[in-house]
Amino acid sequence: MRCMVRAGKQRSTPRRSSPPWTVTPRSPSPRSSRNRGGAWRSRISKGTEHEYPWPWQLVSINLVKLEERYPEVVPRGAAPGSSAARGFAIFKGRCLRCHAINQQGGKVGPDLNAPQSVTSYRTKAWITGYVRQPSKYRYTAMPDHLDLRSSDLDDIYDYLVLKRGQPEKTSR
């Protein structure tokens, strides 16, 4: 119960709360039930989404192939069905939204190939263990991947080893 203090006196009766917001059918925005009639209410009630368009409508979607958007991420020279190609498929689905390869890809996690490949200063056992369960090593925003099989982790490692031989072309 809320009390109001006015000129040294305390009021013990609770203050009347504002009525809840309601959504009018076919209305582009919520309206307050305190608005009792008027031109504004009748216009919104009769309006359609075509008369009152949202200002942030989606205008278009441009579909771009991954090879065109991030050419440095694609494993050049990997045979289809090879371990590195399978690792790239897993990397593309699980890692690319956060991690980058040669400064192309996600911006949340570190770049795994620039300025130096992670495979050049970490062992295979450490990398695969960290990818499987990073929370075991230290606090991190990277999620655990306990559902990945050992062969999947080996494929990701083989992809990273292949990319180590394909350093970034552009200078920083």
**What's the Cα-to-Cα distance from 130 to each of 9, 59, 140, rounded to whole Å?**
65, 41, 11
Interatomic CA distance for residues 130 and 143, integer angstroms: 10
Reply yes or no on whether the pLDDT at 165 is more than 50: yes
Reply yes or no on whether the pLDDT at 9 is more than 70: no
- Evaluated on CA atoms 8, 11, 14, 15, the torsion sign reads negative
Both structure tokens of 77: 């020279």
Interatomic CA distance for residues 154 and 162, integer angstroms: 12
Reply yes or no on whether the pLDDT at 70 is more than 70: yes
* pLDDT for residue 14: 57
Percentage of the chain lying above the pLDDT 90 cut: 55
Reply yes or no on whether the pLDDT at 114 is more than 70: yes
**What's the Cα-to-Cα distance from 119 to each of 126, 140, 160, rounded to whole Å?**
10, 20, 7
Intra-chain end-to-end CA distance of the chain, in Å: 62
Over residues 120-135, mean pLDDT: 95
* pLDDT for residue 1: 46
Instruction: Specify the higher pLDDT residue, 88 or 36.
Output: 88
Name residues whose C-beta falls within 8 Å of residue 150's C-beta, 6 or more positions apart in sequence.
128
* pTM (2 d.p.): 0.64
- Residue located via tokens 């040294």: 8
* pLDDT for residue 58: 75
The domains located in the chain, with CATH, are 21-56 (no CATH), 66-164 (1.10.760.10)
